[in-house]
Structures are given as C-alpha cells and as structure tokens.
Amino acid sequence: MSVVRAFLAIDLDDDLKPKINKIIKEFKQIDAKIKYVELTNLHLTLKFFGDIDTNGLELLEDAIARVVSDFKPFDIKIKGCGAFPNTNRIKVIWVGIDDDAIIKDLHARLDKEFVKLGFDKDKKFSTHLTIGRMKSAKNKNQVKSTIEDYSEFEIGEMKVSEISLKKSTLTPQGPIYDDLKVFEL
C-alpha cells in the first residue's frame, strides 16, 4: 500500500504575499519562538486528509470534481490577523478571510462528500491562512499586541478560480507541497 499525506487548499495569489510578509516581519522583530510558514506555502486549507492510500485518490478526485462543478470563480477579501485558540493562549497566528460565506458553503459540501468516503467530518471549520505557529509563551504579550495591531489590516482581494489537492512531504527544513490535481471552478 502506497500512502500520500494530502490536503485540499486554495493557494494565495502571489501579489498578496508582500503584505502578509509585512505582518510576518513585525512578528519577527519580537523575541518569540514562532515557526513561520514559508510565503510560497501560504494557502487556505479546505480539508486536511492526513495519510491516504493512493489507491483511493481517484474516488477522492471524483468527489471533489462533482462538488466544484457547482461553483463559479468567486472573490475573497483577505483581512485581519488573529490567533487560535485565542490571543491569551496563542498556538497559531493567522490572517483571515472577510465575507467567507462561499468558502464555507464549498467546504460544507466537500466535507459531506468526504464523510461518504470514510473521512471524519470537520468539527469546526474556520477560514484562515496560517502564518506562524507559536512554540512557547515567550513574549506572548508582545505577540498578542501585534496581533491586535493587525486585527483589521486590509491585505487585499483575490479571485478564487481553482482549488488544489496537494501532497505534503515533511522535511527537516519544513513541508514541501506539490499539486496532485488542480480543479477549476
């Protein structure tokens, strides 16, 4: 049995990355233990599958194709900064999606198909792009303050016209993502 670590995502437009990098640079000025996401890897995760049998990829791809055929390209607005689970216990630092009703609908319909294939239903889906993971509470108050400073920061808009089924290869330098299949909306 051959397995692949996979997830479904919306890639971030390259022209929005400099504004997100501006936020990351602000966090990097703080002496905190934060592991940052490489700009090339920034994405909005629709579903993390984990390790899946490559023999089942076709079924998964068919399910994705069925759902996306009902969607047309749509615009999203990337705005703000926050933390999971919250700013008092920071584990993940993220930038947000404003007016995310279409993405939530897309996710709900995809997740319903994935459950039929045996995947767990997502308990809580939140539209966000992870920019960093906090590894300790060192200088947490400064990190919290920076998150609050950027809570309403306008990053920009982009058109979502495709979603990608990706393979994630974990390396000591960080994950490497490759498209397994791209689905046009």
Give the span between the Cα atoms of 73 and 19, in whole angstroms. 23
Q: Are strands 128-134 and 154-160 parallel, antiparallel or unpaired?
A: unpaired
- The active-site residue out of 128, 129, 163, 164 is 128
Q: For residue 83, how many other CB atoms are within 10 A of its CB? A: 20
With b meaning 16 or more CB within 10 Å and e meaning fewer, what string describes 94-110? Answer: bbbbeebebbeebbeeb
- The active-site residue out of 12, 43, 45, 95 is 43
The residue ranges of DSSP E strands in the chain, in sequence order, are 3-11, 34-36, 43-53, 74-86, 89-98, 128-134, 154-160, 162-169, 176-184
pTM of the model: 0.93
107 is catalytic: no
Tens of pLDDT along the chain (185 residues) come to 799 999 999 999 999 999 999 999 999 999 999 999 999 999 999 999 999 999 989 999 999 999 999 999 999 999 999 999 999 999 999 999 998 999 999 999 999 999 999 999 999 999 999 999 999 999 999 999 999 999 999 999 999 999 999 999 999 888 999 999 999 99
**Between helices 17-28 and 140-149, what is the axis angle to 10°?**
150
Asked if 36 contacts 6 with a C-beta cutoff of 8 angstroms, the reply is no
Coil, helix or strand at residue 116: helix
128 is catalytic: yes
